[in-house]
Amino acid sequence: MGVQRGNLSGGLFTVSRTASPHITMDELAEITQHLLRSSPDALVVIDDRGLIRFANDTVTDLFGYRPDQLLGQSVEVFVPERFRARHGRHVSGFVADPRSREMGARIADLYARRADGSEFAAGIRLAPFRIGEKLFVAAAIRDASERQRINDALVAAREEAERANRAKSRFLATASHDLRQPLQTIKLLNAAMTRLSGDAEISSLLKHQEQAIESTTRLLNALLDISRLESGAIEPQRVAVFLPKMLDELRAEFDSIARVRALKLEVSALPFSVTTDRVLFYQLLQNLVGNALKYTDEGSVSVDCRMENGALLIVVRDTGIGIPPDKLERIFDEYYQVDTHGTKRLGVGLGLAIVKEVARLLDFKVRITSTIGRSTEVTISIPAAQIAAAVPEQLAAVVSQREPSAPPRTRVLLVEDNDGVRMATELFLKLEGLEVRSAASFAEAEALLPTLGWGDIIVADYHLDSSHTGIEVLLKARAVHDRNVPGIVLSGDLPTLVRTIQQPIPSSKFLSKPVDTDALLQAIKELMAASREQGDKLRA
Ligand code: ADP
């Protein structure tokens, strides 16, 4: 008989019936016996009726039975009584269909019963085999109490970490939200003082103050965004988002920043609709284009679209400072900033963490490549399932969009319940040459609504009191005048507000608090231009 090879404890051994150095079959039989007896696992073999046909010595240590006491007994002696019915079903199922399990051993974590009735967490490995036609199952059983304890400790630690993380996110969300109101006041007062000051030195101080307020605002907004995303509070609201329109808005938002930085901004879209969350999608693009402009000193920033293997790719490319290859992995971490060119002060290190979270929520993929000192390219890949060809009306709507014309003389009805914010906004708007009337509550606003005329616009805080919102003021004004009185609603939690609006409200805009003073003036200008056009048409 030839030499057989087998694998024992990871090493090769050879067996021969004849002479050394090979071991004989008899020796092998003895080795096998020895291994079976002294295995660290309790080993039992049961037949197809669930009766124990073999048990090694380790069963004594583990279960307190002698091996000979077990022979011929049902395997259920090892099963705590409360599990016996269920176990019986498992055994019959296993015996009826062992094929699917013959390929590999099965491990199960369950409880086993000792001879004295006590129980322990057991790790059990099952391996079915046949001798002739007869089916047997070998079971290796070990005490898994320690593993169970470690598992329990791990689960508890993970739950605790998740709880702490949720608490952190809640704290961040609340703190950053509550800080918005006072920051709003400071911002408006700063803008008002800038308009009032004739003194160059004071103006320069105010400019510095404005920059500090801007960076605080950016930090607050980013903190609020990331904490909302991380807390799992955001459920994407998927709608058809027409890509050319969204990219047009993006261009409009960043055009002036590009001009100030003397950079070329090129945006080109494909005529597709993406089924996704409009607010989150926009936020993702905003962060990428914002970064591209921020980290580019000369050249251009482009946003291009193309199709690849059925997916829609949006590529944001810049000719900026680039990112070192060893940092590419880390830049998506919270608060991570590269700072190769003293650029840290430009941001807070949350933009790409927001991009990562949003992409995860929307099932987008993000890829980044960069050449240091030359360029960075971020590619968003949107799966085919979320893309649809645009319908003709959508295309027509974009073509017919026009730049708003110059503002007419405008009167503002300001509705704001916070005294500080109301006073500062009123002052700021008046200094901008607007006529302002203020209401400190829904009731006060309601009383003023009948006096609104053409050329009037409402600027209202969203949260007015426990039972009224700025949107209600807007809707009430429309009911009173039977036309779309233009209005701007300011909110500390814009993404949530936008989500709650079931139907679009025409001639209105929603701005985030603390409001960017330029954005507020721009919104007033745009709405008034549109309203004047509407009025012209009606009068014609
Ligand atoms: P930050 O608020 O600092 O911009 P981000 O999370 O948006 O934070 O980005 C993390 C870091 O990645 C940035 O600090 C910057 O160093 C680097 N980075 C991001 N985008 C670009 C880019 N387009 N070009 C060069 N560096 C970039």
Q: Tens digit of pLDDT for each residue in 239-281?
A: 999 999 999 989 988 888 899 889 999 999 998 999 999 888 9
Cβ pair 415, 473 in contact under 8 A: yes
d(CA 307, ligand 1 centre) in Å: 26
Least confident of 89-98, 224-233, 290-299, 493-502: 89-98
Whose alpha carbon is nearest atom 21 of ligand 1? 291
The more confidently predicted of residues 128 and 174 is 128
Say whether pLDDT at 319 is over 90: yes
The per-residue pLDDT for 346 is 65
State how far the alpha carbon of 358 is from the alpha carbons of 70, 235, 363, 446, in Å. 60, 11, 8, 40
d(CA 291, ligand 1 centre) in Å: 6
The per-residue pLDDT for 430 is 85
CA 71, CA 274: separation in Å to the nearest integer?
A: 68
Task: Spell out a b/e string for 107-130, using b for 16 or more CB atoms within 10 Å of the CB, else e.
Answer: eeebbbbeeeeeebbbbbbbebee
Q: What is the DSSP letter of 16?
A: -
Mean pLDDT throughout 114-118?
94
C-beta pairs of 29-33 under 8 Å, 24+ apart in sequence: none
Whose alpha carbon is nearest atom 8 of ligand 1? 349
d(CA 17, ligand 1 centre) in Å: 72
Say whether pLDDT at 61 is over 50: yes
Which of 289, 319, 337 is the pocket-test mutation for ligand 1 (most atoms within 8 Å of CB)? 337
The per-residue pLDDT for 70 is 94
Say whether pLDDT at 53 is over 90: yes
Cβ pair 184, 515 in contact under 8 A: yes
The more confidently predicted of residues 39 and 158 is 158
pLDDT tens for each residue of 194-228: 888 888 888 888 988 888 888 788 788 888 788 77
How many helices (H) does the chain have, and how many strands (E)?
16, 20
C-beta pairs of 91-96 under 8 Å, 24+ apart in sequence: 91/50, 94/126, 94/128, 94/137, 95/48, 95/50, 95/135, 95/137
The per-residue pLDDT for 11 is 39
Say whether pLDDT at 352 is over 80: yes
The per-residue pLDDT for 82 is 82
Residue whose token pair is 């508890």: 156
Which of 289, 348, 352, 377 is the pocket-test mutation for ligand 1 (most atoms within 8 Å of CB)? 352
The chain-wide mean pLDDT, for the chain, equals 83
The per-residue pLDDT for 487 is 95
Whose alpha carbon is nearest atom 12 of ligand 1? 331
pLDDT tens for each residue of 356-379: 999 999 999 999 999 999 999 999
Which amino acids bring their CB within 6 angstroms of ligand 1? 291-292, 295, 318, 320-323, 331, 336-338, 343, 347-353, 376
Specify the ligand 1 atom closest to the Cα of 336: 10
Specify the ligand 1 atom closest to the Cα of 353: 6
d(CA 352, ligand 1 centre) in Å: 7
